[in-house]
Each structure stands twice: as C-alpha cells, then as structure tokens.
Structure 1
Amino acid sequence: MMKRRILPLVLSIVVLLFIWEIISIIGDFPVWQLPSPYVVGLELWRSWTSSEYLLHVRATFIIACFGFILSILVGVGVAVWLYFSTFLTRIVTPFLLFSQNVPIIVLAPLLVVWFGFGIEAKLLVVILVCFFPITIALVDGFEQVDRNLLRYLEMSGATKWEKFRHLAFPSAVPVLFSSCKLSATYSVMGAVVAEWLGTERGLGMIMTQAANSFRTDRVFVSIITIVVLSGCFFFLISLVEQWWKHKRKLI
C-alpha cells in the first residue's frame, strides 16, 4: 500500500525535474533567471549540510510548530465556544470571515507596531493563518451528528454539555484531523511570511536576501525546504490520526 502511494509521487517528481532540465537547456536561461535542477541540487546539498543554514531552518520550524499548536488551541476553543452559544455565533462569525478576507501581509505591519519584532508578532501571524480552517471545520462537524442519536440523548434528558461530550465532539474528531492537516501545511508558510517582517534568522530572511541578490537557486532551495517541513507536519498529523483510529477500533 505504501509503495503504491510513493511510486506515483516519485515518478511525478522525476518527470517534473526532466521537463525542468529540458526547458533550462533549450531556453538557455541565465542561472539567475532559471537555474537547472543540477545547480539547485548542488546548492541544496551545500545548504542542508551547512550548520548555519540549519539554524535558519530551526528558527522557522520553532515559529511554525508553536504557532500551529496555538492555532489548534485557539481554533478548537473558538469552535467549542460557538457551539455553546448561538447568539455569539451570529456576532463572532462575521469577524472570523473578516480576519480571513484581509490579506495577512497587510495586517503584518500593524502587528509589528503593536507587538514589536519579537516572537509574539510572528506567532500571531501563524495563528491568523491557521486557526480559521480548524474553527470552521469543527463548527460544521458539530452540526453533522447522527440525528437519531441526538434525539435519543434529548429524550434521555441530556444536557448540552453531555450531548457535546458524548456525541458532537467525538463525531467531529475526523473533521478536526482533516482541518489540522490543512492548517499544518499553512503553518510553515505563515512562519515565513512572519519572518518577512524582520528577523535575524529564518527561511523568510534567507529567501529575501537570495531574491535581492538574484540567487534564484537559493530561493528554490528555500522553497524545497518549506515544502519538506510542511510535508513533515502533514505526515505527523496523519500518524496521530492513524493512532487514534486504531485506538478507537480497540475500544
């Protein structure tokens, strides 16, 4: 099963690299405009074997990781809060939509003014990027429960907390994992955007410096690193999901 999933991905990457190499050769592009996969591969090896570069990766990873964990707490907390109050749902929902319609790159300078260049502003950027899918997915998940079981609990005189504990939340757990996997891929991107505000370390700073100096190969290396980090986050959530499903079968 694992081979069936990995093989198409490997073949797709090989085909993509082959097309990329052909285009770079036929087009005769300068290195600063479109480096070949070979040039990017060399720079990737130099970067990933450099302790200095790994420190930048570590800085981005820390912001993305803590921001993602806080996003889960905020997303779940807001969703539960809305579940227990229909009145608050009507008030808060427009503000949630507003927070997603305003480009984060516009809000970022305000966060710097309010919180400075420290880690607080960067964590807030990641939270703003990641919490919304979790909140919306959970709110929908709470509503999509088995109506027969809900009716049975109501006939038994169950309180809203008991209905939430025994029916709504367990039914929404699969949706929670799906939304967390989506937000996990956003977290690294949010951390990089946050680092564009100003930082001493991080992939965002590396990308900015590389772009300004026309080191396109380094930009590609940073993009690949971001994709790998996002994939690791996604894979970790998938492992936790599989563990939860296995544990649920044993109960």
Structure 2
Amino acid sequence: MSQSALAKRPADVAGVARRDGPTTGERFARAAEQSWRPLALLLAALVVWWVIAAAELIEPYLVPSPGATLDVLTSKTGYLWQHTWVTTYETLLGFVIAVAVGVLAAVVMVYSSTVERTLYPILLFAQVVPKIAIAPLFVVWLGFGIAPKILIAVLIAFFPVVISMVTGLKAVDPEMLQLSATMGAKPWQTFVKIRFPASLPHLFSGLKVAVTLAVTGAVVGEFVGANEGLGYVILQANGNLDTPMLFAGLLVMSLIGVVLFVIVEIAEKLLLPWHASRRESSATTTF
C-alpha cells in the first residue's frame, strides 16, 4: 500500500462519507424536533386543566384555574422569589455536598473491596429508609434552621452519585488498565488518565438524577419544620385551602428541578465533548 493511501483520512476511504458538524440552523431544527412532543403534551395538559376549571367539573378550592394560578405567580412574585431562593440554596448546597462525599466514597469502595463490602449494605439501608420518617429527628437534633434541610437533600442525592460513580469506575476496559500497568503508570496516574475520565458519563447520569432528588429532599425538610422555603409555602397554602398558591408553589418547585437538570446536562456536553461526538459521529458508513 502506498504512503499516500495510508495518509488518507477516513472520510476519503471508499464507502465512508465525511459529515461536517451541524450548523446553527440544524441545531435549532434538531432542538425543535426533540422538544415539540413534550411541549405539545404540556399544552394538552394545560388545555385539559383549563377545561376542567372552566366547566367547574371540580370545585375551584380543589383545582384552581390556570388564570388564578398565573395571577398568584404574577402578583406574589417577590414573596415566591424569596422562598424560591431559600429552597434553591438548600438544594444546591446539599447537591454539592452529596457529589463531593459520594465521589470520594465511590473511589474508596472501588479501590478497597473490604470497604465496599462494609459500606455498601449500610448505604443501601440508608437509602431504603423513608426520609420523611427520619426528617423529624434531624429537626430535633439540628433545630429549625437550614441544616436539617441540607442534610436530607444530601441523603437523598447521595445514593445515585455513589452507585453511578462506582459503576463508571468499574466499567473501565481491563485491557486499558493492563496496558497502563505495563507501561509503568502509577495508580494515581491510571486513575487520573483512565479511570476517572471513563467514569464521567456514568457519573453525569447519576448527577442528573441526584440534582432533581435534592430538590425533593430540601422541600421534604421544609415540610417537617421551617419558616421559609417553597415547602413552607406549600404547607401554609394547604392549611389555608389556598390552592392557587399551592399550585404556584408546586410549579415553581418543578421549575427548579427542570432548570438544574438542564444545567447538569449542559455541563455534561461541555465537559465531555468526546462522549458527545461518540453519540453524534462525524463519519457515517454508506454501505
């Protein structure tokens, strides 16, 4: 084979077509293609909600109209924003702590089978215990401040991070580990260059689950004992039969989870371009 043939790019080989990266228009078209179905379903749900409220099929104090809920969102913006910030802060702090501790625990478990056999059953037991059942204990121990809410958020978000990280660290190709050992790489070099980068796709899958669960954990803590936060708003609205405020609080809480999920997903695309390119290959076979 000639040297010029060896120098050919994969796109120059017969049977392989080179495809340039997507243009801005193609990205928008792809985003529209991926989002119109959930948007249509959301619109249909809003229409059904409006029809039920307009026809008074259910009493307004049970299911408020979309208009009444929107009025609360617009007229109580400052009040809702104040409590939204509290819940968001508790969620983010709990999520960050869960990620830091979870990743560290996963690394220790992977590199020590003794620690894994000792710690894994305890983690599983802690996960299956209903957090709403033990939340009052945290309030008794830590008071009505922010600490119990953060702790519950950490406990709920911790397990997905640990499991996904352990799975990612163990999913490394054994031949790659053998190759690095043959080339004289030290354990920390193998971890930094091979194990950790290979585990990131699994880790981000767990992070997307954990960040939404952290919102739930913060709100659960606010349900048990708090004087601020969206959980407090929802609890107060429920006690006063103020369903428009209750629905507004639920919508804002859901929006927090969606926004944080999208942020983690964007971070995944920015930090793992090699993984994104594997899913959207720049070369496609034509035979």
- Which structure would you say has the larger Rg? 2
Q: For the residues of structure 1 that align with 2:156 and 2:55, how far apart are their CA atoms?
A: 40
Q: Deviations over 1:197-245 (max 9, x none)?
A: 2222110110001111111221111111011111111111112111112
Query: Please, which runs of 5 or more residues in structure 2 have no aligned partner?
Result: 1-29, 278-287
Listed one character per residue, the Cα deviations across residues 50-101 of structure 1 (whole Å, up to 9, x for unaligned) are x222111111111111111111111111111112211010000010001111
1:58 and 2:85 matched: yes
Corresponding position: 1:180 with 2:207 = yes
Query: 8 Å contact 1:117–1:197 — kept in the other structure?
Result: no
Measure the CA separation in 2 of the matches of 1:248 and 1:9.
25
2:269–2:276 contact (8 Å) kept in structure 1: no
- The residue number in structure 2 matching 1:96 is 123
Match of 1:67 in 2: 94
> Which of the numbers 15, 35, 45 marks the counterpart of 2:44?
15
Partner of 2:223: 196
The answer to which of 227-236 and 19-28 deviates more is 19-28
CA distance in 2, matches of 1:171, 1:12: 36
| CA spacing shift, 1:248–1:30, aligned 2, 3 Å | closer
Quick one: distance in 1 between partners of 2:55 and 2:174?
62
Q: 1:210 to 1:249 in 2, by over 3 A?
A: closer
Q: Go from structure 1 to structure 2 and tell me whether the alpha carbon gap of 1:232 and 1:249 turns closer, same or farther (over 3 Å shift).
A: closer
| Matches of 1:8 and 1:129, distance apart in 2 | 31
Greater share of residues in helix: 1
Shift in Å at residue 18 of structure 1?
A: 1.1
Stretches of structure 1 that go unaligned for 5 or more consecutive residues are none
How many residues were matched structurally? Answer: 248
Q: Which residue of 1 aligns with 2:62?
A: 33
**What residue identity is the alignment partner of 2:71?**
L
CA distance in 2 between partners of 1:237 and 1:172 (Å) = 16
| Match status 1:45 vs 2:74 | yes
Judged with a 3 Å threshold, the aligned counterparts in structure 2 of structure 1 residues 114 and 246 are, in CA distance, closer, same or farther, namely same
State the distance in 1 between where 2:92 and 2:203 align.
Answer: 17
What SS does the aligned partner of 2:272 have?
helix
Structure 2 contact 53–60 (Cα < 8 Å) conserved: no
The 3 A distance-change label for structure 1 pair 170 and 113 is: same
Partner of 2:135: 108
Which residues in structure 2 correspond to 1:132-143 (within 5 Å)? 132-143=159-170
- Which of 104, 110, 123 is 1:83 aligned to? 110
Superposed, which structure 2 residues align to 1:111-126 within 5 Å? 111-126=138-153
Deviation at 1:6, TM superposition (A): 2.7
Distance (whole Å) between structure 2 residues aligned to residue 23 and residue 53 of structure 1: 26
Alignment partner, residue 245 of structure 2: 218
Identity across matched positions, percent: 31
Q: Give the Cα separation in 2 of the matches to 1:173 and 1:224.
A: 31
Whole-Å Cα distance in 1 between the matches of residues 252 and 154 of structure 2?
A: 21
The alpha-carbon distance between structure 1 residues 94 and 249, as it changes in their structure 2 partners (threshold 3 A), is closer
> What is the rounded CA distance, in whole Å, between the counterparts of 1:159 and 1:117 in structure 2?
48
TM-score, length-scaled by structure 2:
0.81
Per-residue CA deviation, residues 22-65 of structure 1 (Å, 9 max, x unaligned), is 233445321111122222222222233xx222111111111111
Are 1:79 and 1:139, in contact at CA under 8 Å, matched by a contact in 2? yes
Q: Which amino acid aligns with 2:172?
A: V
Q: Determine helix, strand or coil for the equivalent of 1:196.
A: helix
Q: Give 1:171's match in structure 2, choosing from 175, 198, 203.
A: 198
Counterpart secondary structure, 2:60: coil
| Corresponding residue number in structure 1 for 2:176 | 149
Runs of 4 or more, structure 1, over 4 Å off, are 247-250
Structure 2 Cα separation of the partners of residues 110 and 21 of structure 1: 41
